[in-house]
């Protein structure tokens, strides 16, 4: 036990120290929110994927594979891998260029405001509201993961466990801003990667090798390892397949991932970043599914319900001495922290830069905006903390809801903004509101077509709203069209 505690203390201390190292580099708003646009390709790639996957990768996805087999986990992973590739291929380079030329925008709401010359500020305000709603849910999922981790490993009360994680995340996010977040993300992303790869290999060897594991998994039934049938043995329905694959659409609207594209030092670095990101994603998600499958025969007695999301914890704790186990278990904390810190920072930037400044204090200094951002981080963390107080919350389900919300709200308008010159301010506003509200309403309904993952209908209906509203609206101004053409013509 003391070995595990020591590993956690060392790890948490290192993250806070990294945050403290960047205190002097967060004087300006651009530095605090976007690191002065000086991320290298490797840092950008690992930081983007670490902040993307969160504790969902080490707890949510293995938990689904553990309970239900390969079906939902595999197709979700396929959708995410395709979405990751297309996001880096289609969006990354163009967004980096466009945000720089569109008034050097440092947040997604500010980019939308500058892209459509929105003097009313309605686009950034609506964007900030949706970011606050969905990142509250997303951040809460990370706090749930921290609570489950500390209570499972150390036997601490769940609420105390959540509180410890929140305090550490706040410490280095408040201190160092974006550069601290990205630097810690690299450390955390590599730790997550190696922990996921080593865990199923170690468990397989402990059980007697791949042959023994395969034989034991076979006893769980034919449906467990068949990706084309559901757990009841029926052929996989089109509804389920579309729901799982549609996870990939979410990438186009994830603010905490998109800001990594904006922060890369040069759009020419994107090819290297894309290759690094795809290697990380494919191997890490494949390993996470293996954790669930191998864990089903390694971890006994069988875990039920939401406790299935602790399979990685049980596996690591049983395989390694306490200090080594502690290092690998820090990967869960790394996954949680790498996402929660990014979400808190993006939320703070949206509220301070795109809500507070334009509506309440137009002449606010950069120092004041950074201060308001730090206060916002504290408030959002407090709200997410209260949302995370139920230990029976499912990390997978919380993440899926927030993911759908962002994907449907921002995904369509980001693609239309980057690729369709005819998009108007009113079209963008319609897409934001319709996509976001469709997700929220669809989530409350069930049965028949409403069992479809809310991201897909939200994305489609939001896209149609942009298309129809833009065509019914007056064409964009010459200034907007010329800027669009200039960005597309630059190499």
pLDDT over threshold 80, residue 33: no
Confidence of residue 78 (pLDDT cuts 50, 70, 90): very high
CA torsion sign, 444 to 447 to 453 to 459?
Answer: negative
- The pLDDT, as a whole number, for residue 412 is 97
- The pLDDT, as a whole number, for residue 213 is 93
Say which residue, 183 or 223, is predicted with more confidence. 223
* CA trace torsion 426, 431, 437, 442 (10° rounding): 150
Taking alpha carbons only, the member of 266, 277, 242, 258 closest to residue 413 is: 258
The average pLDDT across 112-134 equals: 89
Of the CA atoms within 13 Å of residue 176, those in its CB half-sphere come to: 22
pTM comes to 0.84
CATH architecture of 2-393: Up-down Bundle (1.20)
Of the CA atoms within 13 Å of residue 485, those in its CB half-sphere come to: 8
> What does pLDDT average to over the chain?
84
- The pLDDT, as a whole number, for residue 471 is 96
- The pLDDT, as a whole number, for residue 206 is 93
Q: Return the bridge partners of 226, or none.
A: none
Listing DSSP states for 151-206 in one string gives HHHH---HHHHHHHHHHHHHHHHHHHHHHHHHHHHHHHHHHHHHHHHHHHHHHHHH
């Amino acid at each position: 036990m003391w070995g595990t505690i020591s590993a956690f203390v060392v790890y948490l201390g290192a993250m806070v120290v990294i945050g403290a190292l960047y205190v002097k580099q967060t004087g300006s708003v651009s530095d605090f929110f976007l690191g002065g646009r000086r991320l290298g390709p490797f840092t950008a790639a690992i930081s983007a994927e670490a902040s993307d996957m969160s504790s969902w990768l080490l707890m949510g996805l293995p938990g689904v594979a553990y309970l239900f087999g390969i079906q939902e986990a595999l197709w979700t992973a396929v959708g995410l891998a395709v979405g990751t590739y297309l996001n880096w291929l289609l969006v990354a380079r163009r967004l980096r260029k466009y945000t720089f030329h569109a008034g050097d925008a440092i947040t997604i709401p500010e980019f939308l405001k500058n892209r459509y010359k929105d003097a009313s500020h309605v686009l950034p305000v609506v964007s900030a509201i949706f970011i606050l709603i969905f990142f509250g849910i997303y951040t809460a999922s990370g706090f749930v993961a921290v609570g489950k981790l500390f209570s499972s490993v150390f036997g601490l009360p769940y609420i105390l466990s959540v509180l410890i994680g929140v305090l550490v995340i706040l410490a280095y996010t408040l201190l160092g801003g974006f550069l601290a977040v990205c630097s810690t993300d690299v450390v955390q992303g590599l730790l997550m990667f190696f922990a996921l790869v080593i865990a199923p290999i170690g468990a397989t060897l402990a059980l007697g090798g791949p042959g023994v594991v395969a034989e034991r998994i076979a006893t769980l039934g034919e449906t467990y390892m068949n990706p084309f049938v559901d757990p009841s043995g029926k052929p996989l329905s089109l509804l389920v397949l579309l729901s799982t694959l549609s996870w990939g659409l979410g990438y186009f609207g994830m603010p905490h991932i998109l800001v990594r594209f904006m922060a890369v030092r040069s759009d020419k670095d994107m090819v290297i970043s894309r290759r690094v990101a795809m290697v990380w994603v494919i191997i890490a998600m494949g390993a996470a599914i293996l954790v669930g499958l191998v864990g089903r025969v390694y971890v006994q007695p069988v875990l039920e319900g939401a406790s299935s999301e602790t399979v990685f914890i049980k596996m690591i704790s049983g395989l390694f001495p306490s200090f080594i186990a502690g290092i690998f278990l820090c990967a869960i904390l790394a996954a949680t922290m790498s996402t929660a810190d990014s979400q808190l920072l993006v939320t703070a930037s949206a509220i301070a830069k795109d809500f507070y400044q334009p509506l309440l204090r137009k002449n606010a200094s950069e120092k004041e905006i950074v201060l308001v951002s730090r206060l916002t981080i504290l408030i959002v963390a407090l709200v997410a903390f209260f949302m995370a107080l139920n230990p029976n919350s499912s990390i997978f389900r919380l993440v899926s809801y927030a993911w759908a919300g962002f994907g449907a709200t921002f995904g369509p308008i980001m693609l239309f903004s980057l690729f369709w010159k005819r998009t108007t301010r009113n079209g963008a506003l319609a897409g934001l509101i319709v996509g976001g509200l469709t997700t929220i309403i669809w989530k409350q309904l069930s049965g028949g077509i409403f069992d479809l993952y809310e991201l897909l209908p939200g994305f489609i209906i939001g896209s149609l709203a942009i298309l129809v509203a833009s065509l019914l609206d007056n064409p964009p101004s010459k200034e907007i069209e010329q800027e669009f053409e200039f960005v597309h013509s630059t190499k």
